Chains A and B, each alone.
Chain A
Amino acid sequence: MAGGYRQQPGASSGETRKDGKRVAGKQKFPPPGSGGSRPTMAPRNLDSIPESVGGKEPQPAGSHIHDRYRTGTEVGKSRALVDSHAKVTGQAWYGDDVRLPNEIIGKILRSPHHYAKIKSIDTSKVEALPGVLAVATGADAPNTFGVLPVTKDEHAMAVEKVRHVGDLVACVAAVDEATAMEALNLFEIEWEVLDPVFDPRKGLEDQDEPIHWRGKYHVGTTNVQKRVFQEFGDRSLVDDPTASSHGKWRMEGVHHGFTEPHAVVAHWDPNGRLQLYTPQQVPHYAHRALSTVLEVPMHQINVIRTFVGGGFGGKSDPFPHEMCAAILSRKAGRPVRINFSREEVYWINRGRHPSYIEVKMTADEEARISGFDIDALIDGGGFASFGHVTSYYNGVLATAPYELGSFHYTGARVWTNKPASGAMRGHGAVNTRCAVEVGLDEMAEQMQVDPIDLRLANLLPPHSRTISGFRITSNGMREALERVRDGSDWDTKFRQMPLGKGIGIGCGFFISGSGLPIHWDPNRFPHATVHIQIDMDGGVTVHTGAADIGQGSTTAVAQVVSEVLALPIEMIHVRSHESDTSPVDLGSYSSRVTFMNANAAIRAALDIREKLLNAAWEMLGYHPDVLVLNDRRIYYKHDPAVGVSYLEALHKAQEDKGSLISSGAYRSPPMGGVHKGAAAGLAPAYSFSAYVAEVDVDIETGLVSCTNVWAAHDCGKALNPLAVEGQIIGSCHMGLGQVLSEKMVYGRTGHLQNPNLLEYKIPSVHEMPHVTPIIVESSDPEGPFGAKEAGEGPLLPILPAVVNAVYDAIGVRIRELPLTPDVVWKAISAKTRSLGGIDETELPSPRLEHSPLQATLVARGQEHRKRDRRRQRSEDTSAYVNGVLFGFDPDRPLEDQVDGWKSAVEPVPEQLAELGLAGKAWLKKEQRQMRGGQ
C-alpha cells in the first residue's frame, strides 16, 4: 500500500519513536483529505507536469489541449494494472469461475459434416433421458444475428443447414456434464450432405448452393460475401518504373490463442430478467444480439462481463453459445453454464483470415512510390462476422504512412465451409502490411538504396491527408524509424552479416478507434460514455462500459480520472462489469478503448473538477483560475498555505445536493471522404510503428529463430509506459507466432487438423527474442493527454521485419507465411538448385552497394525531417495532402490539377480483364442487376 490512501482512526496523540518515525496505529485521525496517513500533502511533482504549464516534462511534440488539467499525479507513470492483484492472486473471476446456485450444464451438439442440410431432428430420446432438463434446436431461435448490422447471417443453432464441421446443431442442458454428453449421442438427425467449398479461389465461382444467400445483393451465385474496389490517384505514374516489386503471397489463417476458452452462464432471475455472465470484449453488441434472438427488450437483459482471459478480437462477436445458454436456461428454469473445450474454441474461431495477397508496387526515378496495386482474396469461413470491414482494411490501411502516387485495391471475402474468420489483433491490416513492407524492401534492393532511407524519404508528414482521405494528425513514424535504426546499430549490420544471420525492417500503421461505430446510429450516440460519482467518503466511483480484456483500459480510466482530480489511484474505483450499471460503450475493438473511453472519462472528471473548484472558490474566495489541485488538496496558486482539503471542498460541493455526479462522452468528429467505403479505416488518430528484427537461420534445416527486436511504437503519449511496453512485447510474441509457426491447418479433407495448443504452435518462451521496446510520443491533439492506441498497431511491423531479415540472412524471398522450417528449407533448396546444385553453405549473402539515388533519398529525408518537425509543433499549419511530393498544390482539388487523377469505387468494364485474383469477384453481377433472381 506504499503511497496509498490509508485513513485509520488511531490513538489520540501522535506518538513518535525515538528515531522520529511515527508509530503505526498510534496516530491522530488526520484531517480529512489532507494526505491520509501523511500529515502533509505530497509536494507537486513537477517532473510529471508539462513544460507548457510550468512543469519540467519535456514536450518535443508541442503542447496539448489537456495540458492545463495535468496535475502530475498519474499520467506518464508506470503503474501495475489496477486489477493485477486480483489476477495474480487468483481472485479474478473469469467466465468459468462463475458458479450460481442450482446451475446445470449445457452442451452443444456440433455438426460432423462440412456442409449439409438438416432434414429433420428428432429430440425425443434426448428428452427422455433422465437428468436432461432442456433441449433446444434451431427452431427455438429463428432470428439471425451478427456483429455487423449489414451482415446478420448467424443463428443460435443451425436453421436449415450447417456450414462447417463444428457448427452448432442443437444443445442440451442436464444435471451434470456426463449426462449432457450422453444426451448428445441420442439426437437423431437426418442429413442431406452438400458439396463443400474449402478453397477461397473456388468460392469465386458460381455454385449450385451458395453457403449463404444475400438476396438481391448476392454476387452471381458465388460465395463472395463482400467485394471491394478502390482506385485513387494518377495511374499513369506507374508506367516506366525505376523499380518495381510484384509479390504473390499465401498467408495461413491464425487463431488468437487466448488462454481462457469461451464460457458463459445464463440465468433468468426471479423477475424474469436475463442475467448473462460472459467474457466478452464487446458486451454491448452481445446485448443487442441477445435481445434480437430471444425477443426480449434490451432493458430486460443484464450482460455481466466477467474478467476476460485474453480476447485479441476473438471474443468480440456475439456468440451462438451465449444464445444457447440463455435459451436453455429459459427452458429449464435454472442457471445454465456452457464451457468450451479448446477444440470448440477453434471451431468458433474468428481468427485472422487465410489470405491470398498480391502486391505490385512501383517507384519512379526519384524513388518516390508511384503506385500500390493490392489484391486480397480472404477466406471468411462459414459466416460474415467482421468480414465486411476486414475486406476494406486489407487495402485501405496500406495507404499510409507513405505518400503514394496512386493506389489501386481489389478485395474479396468469400464464404467457405470452414470455421468463420473474424477480427484479430491488427484486424485486416497485418497481412497486406507484411506484403507491402517486403515489397518496399525489394524495391530498395533494386534501386540499391537503404530501405530505411527509402522509407524516410517517402513519409506523409503530421497533419496531412492520405490518398484515400484519412486525416492523419500526430505522426511519429519518422522518429520511430530513426530510433530503431540507432538502437539496432542498423548501419553496421544491414547486408553486412554472414550467411544465416540477417536483419530486417518493417513499419506499421493502424487506426486508433474507428471513426464510425459499427452500429450506425442516426441519433449520434456517443462512442463512449463515462459516469463519475463521488459520495461523502471521497472515493470516486467510475462507471464505464469499457471492457478490460487485459489491455488495461480500467487502469487507463482510473489514471486519467486520478490525474484530473489529483487523487491517488487507490481512491478511484472503476465499475465496468454490468450493463445495468455501465453506460453504453461500444467495447474493446479497433483499438478504441483508451482513446475514446479515457477521453470520455476526462470530460466527466472535468465536470467534477469544476464543481470542486467552485466550492473551494466559495470557501477561499479565490477564483478557480488561480486554484491548484494537488494530492487531495486545493490551494491558492501563489500561497499554498491558503487552501482546503479535498474532502472539505467535496463536502461543501455536496451541500444540499448529495453525491457529485457527472457524465462525460466522446464521439469522434466527422471526417473523411464521401466515396463508398470511405468510412472504413477512418479513425480520429492513427498509430505508427517501426521494428527492426534480427534473425538466425539454420540453413540446413530452415529453422528460423528471431534473436533481437527493436520495437518503436508511436502511441501519442504513454499514459502508462509499463502497459505500453507490455503491449509491444506481447504484440511481438503474437506476430512472431504468425510469421514463424502458427497456422490453422486444414488437411486434405478440409478438417481442421490442429485444434489444440500442442499442434497449433504458439511460440514458447524459448522462441521469444529479446525485445527492446521504444516508446515514441507524438502527442496526438485529440487523444486523452495526447495518447493513441498501443494494442494492435505494434503487431504489424514484426511480420515484415522478420521476413526481410530472413532475406538478409539467406538471400531468398519467401512469400508464404508462416515461415515454418519446411517452407524455408524448400525455398533454400530451390535456390541452391537454381544456382547449379551448390551446397547450402555456399549460398551468396545479399550485399548492398549504394547507388547515386541513396544520396538523393538521404537529402530528401533530411529536408522532410525539418518539414515534419514544423508541422508537428504547429509552426506550419498549411494544408498537406497526399500528392504534394509529386508536385501537386495541396490547396486545389487534385482532380482539377491532374488529368489522370481518379477516385473510383467500381471498376470500369475495360479494367475487368486485368484485375487480380480477388478482382475476379467483379466479373459477376449482383442479382439485382440480373433481373429476377431468387
Chain B
Amino acid sequence: MMLMPPFNLHHPKTVEEACELAATFLANKESFDWVAGGTDLLPNYKWHINAKTHVISLANIPGLDTISMQEIGAMARLGALTTSENVHPLIASAASKVASSLIRNNATLGGNICLDTRCFWFNQSEDWRRSIDWCHKEDCGTGSDCRVIPNQNTLCVATYQGDLAPSLMVLEGTIHIIGPNGPRSLPVDEFFQLDGITRNVLQEGEFILKVTFPENVANRKGSYKKLRVRESWDFPEAGVASSWISGDPSSLRVASTALESIPRSHQEEVDAHGTSFSKEHIPQLSEAIMKSIKPVNNTALPPRYRKSMVRVLAKRSLREILGD
C-alpha cells in the first residue's frame, strides 16, 4: 500500500489569509506546500518525495476559478477549461490532452503550470530511490549525484512535462502571482527558471492567482501537438504549441514543452526568419527549433527520438495554423 506521510492540511478562506498563513510558516521556519487539485502533489507524497509538514489548500478560496477569454484563474479545473465555450480554443485543446478525464476534473491550471519536474530516477518510491542511493533532486541529505548525467552535481535535468505552459506562452499570457510580499506579474515566458529543482520564479510563500491574455487574444489561431505513446494518461514526451494572428508573420509564436527542465519559447528561431515568414519556411523553422533543444534520457522515450519528433510536431503545428 502507499501510505502518505502525515501532514497538517490548512484551508484558508481568502487570499489574504493564505498569504498570512504562509508568512507565519516562513517566520517559524516550517516547511509547507501549496495544493490546488492535488493530482501532482499527492502522488509524490505517496512516494515520500519532498513531503512537508504543512499543506495549504487553495480549494476553499472563492473567485480563483474564473474562466474567460482574457483571464483564467489558477483554480480553474482543466476539465472545465475543456468544456467551457468562453476560453481560447488552443487552451481548451491543450487542456483536453492532459492525463485522463478523471484527473482533469481535479487538476487545475495553476497546478499544471507549477507541475513538478519529472524523471524516472526521481518519480519512484522511497525503497526504489534508496536502492540507487537517491539522486540530486531529492538527495535526502546525502548530497547525491544526478543519475541522468553522472559526475555533475550542480544541475537537475528532470523534465518539465506540463501540457499548458507552451500554449500560454504562444498566447502571450501574463502570470499574476501573490505572496506575503504582495502581488507581482510577469509574462509566462519569464516565469520558468532553470533547473529541474528551481523550476520557476515563485518565491517561498508565493502562489499563482491567475493568467491573463492580451485584448486581441481571440484573433490568434493556435495549435498544440503532443507526442505520447497512449492517447490517455500519458505525460507529453514532447509538445509544441504555435499561434499567430492570421496573415501577420510578426505575430508568430512557437513554444515547446516536455523536452527540458523548463518549457521554452522559440522566439529566437522565429525571429531569425523576420517578417517574411511563410509556409515555405516551415521546414527550416522546424529544423531550427529541433536543433535548439537538448532532451535527456529520463522519460519513457529515448532523447534522440524526442528531439527528432520536435521537428515533426513543429511542422504539423505550424501547418495547422498557417493552413496547409
Q: How far is the CA of A820 from the CA of B232 in the complex (A)?
A: 16
Contact B131 A113 (CB under 8 A): yes
Considering the complex, give the chain A residue whose CB is closest to the CB of B225.
Answer: A701
By a CB distance below 8 angstroms, the chain A residues around B25 are none
Contact B3 A343 (CB under 8 A): no
Contact B3 A177 (CB under 8 A): yes
| A741 beta carbon closer than 8 Å to chain B | yes
Interface centre among B127, B304, B308 (most CB of A within 10 A): B127
Contact A761 B131 (CB under 8 A): no
- Tell me if A's interface is mostly helix, strand, loop or mixed: loop
Considering the complex, give the chain B residue whose CB is closest to the CB of A763.
Answer: B230
Q: How far is the CA of A610 from the CA of B234 in the complex (A)?
A: 60
Considering the complex, give the chain A residue whose CB is closest to the CB of B1.
Answer: A339
By a CB distance below 8 angstroms, the chain A residues around B124 are 343, 755
Q: How far is the CA of A763 from the CA of B230 in the complex (A)?
A: 7
Contact with B along A699-722 (1 / 0, CB 8 A): 011110000000000000000000
Contact B1 A701 (CB under 8 A): no
| A821 beta carbon closer than 8 Å to chain B | yes
Contact B127 A701 (CB under 8 A): no
By a CB distance below 8 angstroms, the chain A residues around B102 are none
Contact A825 B125 (CB under 8 A): no
By a CB distance below 8 angstroms, the chain B residues around A35 are none
Contact A754 B125 (CB under 8 A): no
Contact A343 B302 (CB under 8 A): no
Contact B130 A112 (CB under 8 A): yes
Contact with A along B279-318 (1 / 0, CB 8 A): 0000000000000000000001110110011001000000
Contact with B along A738-765 (1 / 0, CB 8 A): 0001000101010101110011010111
Q: How far is the CA of A821 from the CA of B302 in the complex (A)?
A: 10
By a CB distance below 8 angstroms, the chain B residues around A826 are 305
Contact B231 A764 (CB under 8 A): yes
By a CB distance below 8 angstroms, the chain A residues around B312 are 700-701
Contact A761 B3 (CB under 8 A): no
Considering the complex, give the chain A residue whose CB is closest to the CB of B302.
Answer: A822
Contact A754 B301 (CB under 8 A): no
A325: min CB distance to chain B, Å: 14
Q: Which of B1, B131, B232 is the one whose CB lies under 8 Å from A751?
A: B131
A794: min CB distance to chain B, Å: 23
Contact A761 B234 (CB under 8 A): yes
| A788 beta carbon closer than 8 Å to chain B | no
Interface residue count on the A side (C-beta < 8 Å): 38
By a CB distance below 8 angstroms, the chain B residues around A661 are none
Interface residue count on the B side (C-beta < 8 Å): 29
B125: min CB distance to chain A, Å: 5
Interface centre among A113, A166, A745, A761 (most CB of B within 10 A): A761
Q: How far is the CA of A480 from the CA of B230 in the complex (A)?
A: 31
Q: Which of A111, A741, A753, A764 is the one whose CB lies under 8 Å from B120?
A: A753
| B128 beta carbon closer than 8 Å to chain A | yes
Q: How far is the CA of A177 from the CA of B4 in the complex (A)?
A: 11
With A767-B231, A820-B229 known as contacts, the answer to whether A749 contacts B1 (CB < 8 A) is: no
Q: How far is the CA of A111 from the CA of B127 in the complex (A)?
A: 9
Contact A110 B127 (CB under 8 A): yes
Within 8 A of A (CB), among B204-231: 227, 229-231
| B132 beta carbon closer than 8 Å to chain A | yes
With A113-B131, A821-B301, A825-B308 known as contacts, the answer to whether A761 contacts B1 (CB < 8 A) is: no
A758: min CB distance to chain B, Å: 6
By a CB distance below 8 angstroms, the chain B residues around A755 are 124-125, 128
Q: How far is the CA of A166 from the CA of B125 in the complex (A)?
A: 12
By a CB distance below 8 angstroms, the chain B residues around A110 are 127
| B27 beta carbon closer than 8 Å to chain A | no
With A343-B125, A764-B230 known as contacts, the answer to whether A759 contacts B120 (CB < 8 A) is: yes
Within 8 A of B (CB), among A792-827: 820-822, 825-826
By a CB distance below 8 angstroms, the chain A residues around B120 are 745, 747, 753-754, 759
| A178 beta carbon closer than 8 Å to chain B | yes
| B233 beta carbon closer than 8 Å to chain A | yes
By a CB distance below 8 angstroms, the chain B residues around A753 are 120
| A341 beta carbon closer than 8 Å to chain B | yes
Contact B131 A766 (CB under 8 A): no
Q: How far is the CA of A340 from the CA of B2 in the complex (A)?
A: 9
Contact A741 B229 (CB under 8 A): yes
B247: min CB distance to chain A, Å: 27
Contact B3 A112 (CB under 8 A): no
By a CB distance below 8 angstroms, the chain A residues around B304 are 822
Interface centre among B1, B230, B235 (most CB of A within 10 A): B1
Contact A754 B128 (CB under 8 A): no
Q: Which of A181, A340, A749 is the one whose CB lies under 8 Å from B3?
A: A181
With A343-B125, A701-B309, A754-B120 known as contacts, the answer to whether A112 contacts B131 (CB < 8 A) is: yes
Contact A758 B233 (CB under 8 A): yes
Q: How far is the CA of A820 from the CA of B234 in the complex (A)?
A: 14
A112: min CB distance to chain B, Å: 4
By a CB distance below 8 angstroms, the chain A residues around B147 are 749
Q: How far is the CA of A761 from the CA of B228 in the complex (A)?
A: 11
Contact with B along A160-192 (1 / 0, CB 8 A): 000001100000000001100100000000000
Considering the complex, give the chain B residue whose CB is closest to the CB of A263.
Answer: B1
By a CB distance below 8 angstroms, the chain A residues around B305 are 702, 821-822, 825-826
Q: Which of B132, B227, B232, B301 is the one whose CB lies under 8 Å from A766?
A: B232
Contact B233 A764 (CB under 8 A): yes
Contact B125 A765 (CB under 8 A): no
By a CB distance below 8 angstroms, the chain A residues around B227 are 701, 821
By a CB distance below 8 angstroms, the chain A residues around B230 are 741, 761, 763-764, 766-767
Considering the complex, give the chain B residue whose CB is closest to the CB of A111.
Answer: B131
Contact A822 B301 (CB under 8 A): yes
Contact B127 A343 (CB under 8 A): yes
With A112-B131, A165-B131, A701-B312 known as contacts, the answer to whether A754 contacts B229 (CB < 8 A) is: no
B161: min CB distance to chain A, Å: 11
Contact A166 B127 (CB under 8 A): yes
A829: min CB distance to chain B, Å: 8
By a CB distance below 8 angstroms, the chain B residues around A340 are 1
Within 8 A of B (CB), among A669-708: 700-703
By a CB distance below 8 angstroms, the chain A residues around B301 are 820-822
Considering the complex, give the chain B residue whose CB is closest to the CB of A823.
Answer: B305
Contact with B along A336-352 (1 / 0, CB 8 A): 00011101000000000
Within 8 A of B (CB), among A585-634: none
Top 5 A-B residue pairs of the complex, sorted by shortest distance between their CB atoms: A766-B231, A822-B305, A112-B131, A764-B232, A165-B131
B-binding residues in A (CB < 8 A): 110-113, 165-166, 177-178, 181, 339-341, 343, 700-703, 741, 745, 747, 749, 751, 753-755, 758-759, 761, 763-767, 820-822, 825-826
30 cross-chain CB contacts under 8 A: A110-B127, A112-B127, A112-B130, A112-B131, A178-B6, A181-B3, A339-B1, A340-B1, A341-B1, A341-B125, A343-B124, A343-B127, A701-B312, A702-B305, A741-B229, A751-B128, A751-B131, A755-B125, A755-B128, A759-B120, A761-B230, A761-B300, A766-B230, A766-B232, A820-B229, A821-B229, A821-B301, A822-B302, A822-B304, A826-B305
